[in-house]
């Protein structure tokens, strides 16, 4: 047991913790935000898309280099058809109107998840957005769409088995490091901090492999109300955590 952080004055403790390189966000509470205003759920999602812009600005302001947002889970396809249509419509609109601004702000955008389930025009826009922003380095924004971590891990395991079966891969490379190369997040550092809004305290099949050592922050704010002050509060909270990665303090 360590009392190290308890006896150190705050500024010193803060100085010991590197700021998060990668922040991931589970954006939750759009439906409740809309219901509390007697609005249709789509109004919550629309306001949620605006909150995404605030999260991107906050990440840039705090010098975070990697931001990943959970915009659509593989389970979300099971929502009523009208809501799925609203969500995919919003995505379509977002891709057509926001990418230019993201590009102008130096943001590189990537998408992870099963994009084959989206309509052709959306798939084309996703590829176009990735292509148009590929040279940017200020912030790496990854949007998880039709994403599920178990499916991602299974696909990686299958691809690795196939590569070994076909003699393209040495079985000795079946290591943690080797396995991550088959994940959709290959080349992206693991998240240091995962934020979930709306008070729910679950990972909901998000980045399960990558979250092994992530700090978790559950915020009592519905996603459409999320602002730069909530991002700042999560960053301040992170700076007070003691990260040991399973090791004993020195």
* CA pair distance 28, 73, nearest whole angstrom: 11
* CA pair distance 49, 53, nearest whole angstrom: 7
* CA pair distance 148, 53, nearest whole angstrom: 23
Dihedral angle computed from the Cα positions of residues 43, 231, 52 and 196, in that order, rounded to the nearest 10 degrees: -70
* Shortest distance, position 136 Cβ to ligand FPP, whole Å: 17
- Closest to ligand FPP by CB, 142 or 156: 142
Active site residue 30: no
How many CB atoms lie under 10 A from the CB of residue 223? Answer: 28
- Closest to ligand FPP by CB, 90 or 164: 90
* Shortest distance, position 208 Cβ to ligand FPP, whole Å: 18
* CA pair distance 66, 21, nearest whole angstrom: 6
Confirm if 69 and 141 have CB atoms less than 8 A apart.
yes
Residue number closest to ligand FPP, CB atom: 31
- Closest to ligand FPP by CB, 91 or 188: 91
Confirm if 107 and 133 have CB atoms less than 8 A apart.
yes
Q: Which residues bind ligand FPP (CB under 6 A)?
A: 27-32, 45, 48-49, 52, 71, 76, 90-91, 94, 143, 223
Of 14, 76, 205, 225, the active-site residue reads: 76
* CA pair distance 192, 216, nearest whole angstrom: 9
Three-class DSSP category at 190:
coil
- Closest to ligand FPP by CB, 32 or 62: 32
* Shortest distance, position 91 Cβ to ligand FPP, whole Å: 5
Confirm if 92 and 129 have CB atoms less than 8 A apart.
no
* CA pair distance 216, 194, nearest whole angstrom: 5
- Closest to ligand FPP by CB, 80 or 167: 80
Confirm if 87 and 45 have CB atoms less than 8 A apart.
yes
Active site residue 76: yes
* Shortest distance, position 189 Cβ to ligand FPP, whole Å: 21
**What residues act catalytically?**
28, 76
């Amino acid at each position: 047991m360590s009392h190290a952080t308890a006896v150190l004055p705050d500024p010193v403790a803060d100085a010991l913790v590197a700021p998060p390189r990668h922040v991931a966000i589970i954006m939750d509470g759009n439906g409740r935000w809309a219901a509390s205003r007697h609005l249709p759920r789509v109004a919550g999602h629309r306001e949620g898309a605006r909150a995404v812009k605030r999260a991107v600005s906050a990440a840039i302001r705090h010098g975070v280099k990697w931001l990943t947002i959970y915009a659509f889970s593989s389970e979300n396809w099971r929502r009523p058809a009208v809501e799925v249509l609203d969500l995919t419509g919003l995505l379509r609109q977002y891709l057509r109107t926001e990418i230019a601004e993201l590009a102008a702000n130096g943001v590189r955008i990537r998408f992870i998840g099963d994009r084959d389930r989206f309509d052709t025009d959306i798939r084309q826009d996703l590829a176009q957005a990735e292509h148009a922003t590929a040279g940017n380095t200020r912030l790496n924004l990854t949007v998880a769409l039709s994403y599920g971590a178990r499916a991602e891990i299974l696909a990686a395991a299958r691809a690795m088995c196939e590569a070994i079966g076909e003699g393209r891969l040495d079985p000795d490379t079946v290591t943690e490091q080797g396995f991550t190369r088959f994940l959709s997040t290959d080349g992206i550092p693991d998240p240091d901090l995962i934020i979930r809004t709306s008070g729910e305290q679950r990972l909901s099949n998000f980045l399960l492999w990558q979250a092994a050592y992530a700090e978790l922050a559950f915020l009592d704010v519905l996603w459409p109300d999320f602002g730069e002050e909530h991002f700042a509060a999560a960053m301040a909270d992170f700076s007070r955590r003691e990260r040991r990665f399973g090791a004993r303090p020195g």
